[in-house]
Amino acid sequence: MADLNTESAPLPPGSTIGILGGGQLGRMLSQAATRLGFKTHIYCPDEKSPAGEVASKWTRADYMDFEAVAKFTMAVDVVTYEWENIPVECADAVTEAGGDLFPGRRALEVAQDRLSEKRYLKSLAIDTAPFMPVASDEALGMAINVAGLPAILKTRRFGYDGKGQSVIHDEDDASIAWEAMDGTPAIMEGFVPFEREISVILARSAYETCLYDPAENEHRDGVLRRSTVPASISKSVCDEAGFIACKIAEDLDYIGVLAVEFFVENSGHLRVNEIAPRVHNSGHWTIEACRMSQFEAHIRAIAGWPLGTTKRHSDAMMQNLIGEEATHWLDHVKNSDASLTLYGKKVKREGRKMGHVTYLKPRSD
């Protein structure tokens, strides 16, 4: 954890940023870092890596190969991650090898387990969906009582893009879903009758915190489909969302970009859906609509640089290109209001995020 009371020198250009994880977020982080004159070094076990292709170095090793992690740590000047499912043991191996890890271990630990995350938010008096852990057949009935029906049974770990989730309408659904999980620790979450979903992207360094405007998010089959800025929310909802995000970041002594997803109820009441201790899909619009993208903000924060402005100069609509949709890249490119970003992936499975396109309009607010 960075000690906020200790001013340390900003990391000079030419230094190497180590990134745990090799997906598209690491790719865009790497592109932002090299633009600022940094070198990047990707660490990931995958055979193909969208990030590895644009980085100066790439270590291909397992996250639990602590010898490789130590070697990687010693080869770089600061370590960050682009994925919250990095094992905490890997994070520990970084710090044990004398590395600086931003965001820190605690953010990782809290965010990679839905139960820890919900309990943590509760400890800060931040509202979430009603929840109850499910670790046994006996707990199932009680969980339905607490969460109410309909509810969603989710695995505690390794859930993203709607994976490991089942909608529960009655006790039969619950039994079937729980059986299918085969003993994997789970959490039952009550359904929140939300009007819309928004997310706040926050950047925090040891010296300052700044917020991008909240984005309004549409999901399809559990995967982010579209983010629109500005969100159709009142100023007070916007302010409260920002306040909650800051509260979390401060409590975690957070360094880097943090994303907080919210459900907005009809009354304007906010409940946090989840937090992501990293740059986030719902913040990709910042590449085009802001002077400083979320990726640059993250790099500046972890490098101890002053943060730039998070001000938005345009309205934006970011749409993910999922699976085969990316084959229609040419249709987007023909529109001069569109900016295309592709991640250099091959379509290997349906639902894979292949790229995104951002449409800008003059600012309306």
Which residues contact a copy of itself by CB under 8 A? 10, 13-14, 27, 31, 34-39, 53-56, 288, 291-292, 300, 305-306, 308-309, 311, 313, 326, 329-330, 333-334, 336-344, 346, 355, 360
Identify whether the C-beta of residue 228 lies closer than 8 Å to the C-beta of residue 284: no
Q: For residue 36, count CB atoms less than 10 angstroms from its CB and return exposed for 0-12, middle for 13-18, buried for 19 or more.
A: middle
**How far, in Å, CA of 152 to CA of 234, rounded?**
29
Minimum distance of a copy of itself from residue 363's CB (angstroms): 11
Minimum distance of a copy of itself from residue 278's CB (angstroms): 20
> Toward a copy of itself, which CB reaches closer, 16 or 112?
16
> Toward a copy of itself, which CB reaches closer, 63 or 359?
359
**How far, in Å, CA of 317 to CA of 329, rounded?**
16
CA distances from 335 to 129, 238, 330, 332, 342 (A): 40, 31, 9, 6, 16
Minimum distance of a copy of itself from residue 205's CB (angstroms): 12
Q: Is 305 helix (H, G, I), strand (E, B) or coil?
A: coil
Minimum distance of a copy of itself from residue 9's CB (angstroms): 10
> Toward a copy of itself, which CB reaches closer, 58 or 120?
58
> Toward a copy of itself, which CB reaches closer, 232 or 309?
309
> Toward a copy of itself, which CB reaches closer, 273 or 339?
339
**How far, in Å, CA of 365 to CA of 363, rounded?**
6
Minimum distance of a copy of itself from residue 360's CB (angstroms): 7
Q: For residue 166, count CB atoms less than 10 angstroms from its CB and return exposed for 0-12, middle for 13-18, buried for 19 or more.
A: middle
Of 167, 137, 134, 164, which is closest to residue 149 (Cα–Cα)?
Answer: 167
Q: For residue 169, count CB atoms less than 10 angstroms from its CB and return exposed for 0-12, middle for 13-18, buried for 19 or more.
A: exposed
Minimum distance of a copy of itself from residue 145's CB (angstroms): 49
> Toward a copy of itself, which CB reaches closer, 55 or 202?
55
